[in-house]
Amino acid sequence: MALHPDFPHSPHAILDPEIRWFPADEILRDTTMDRLKQWCEDINRVQKDTTFDFIYVDEEGFDRYKPSSFKQLLDSFREYNGSN
């Protein structure tokens, strides 16, 4: 699943409920993950109260691994995390 091409860069932007933000075209996934990674880096650089990171959980992998906790999600899905 990928973000909509017009997904806002600002963490404070209000998402228009009339737009289907997820999923966007799968072809956008790689550039979307780059944008999301950059957003996390940017927001973490300008504030220190909360650390932001992301994971990508695809439906096929979720069905295959059947994580039963958030920790298992974090440990299992590392494709775009940079920790792979």
Across the range 8-13, mean pLDDT stands at: 83
Q: Which residue has the higher pLDDT, 83 or 64?
A: 64
DSSP string for residues in 51-80: --------HHHHHHH---SHHHHHHH--TT
Q: For residue 5, which of 18, 13, 23 has the smallest C-alpha distance?
A: 23
The reported pLDDT for the residue numbered 25 is 57
The reported pLDDT for the residue numbered 1 is 47
Please say if the pLDDT value at position 15 is more than 60: yes
- Residue-wise pLDDT for 21-65, tens only, equals 665 555 566 677 788 888 999 999 999 999 998 888 888 889 998
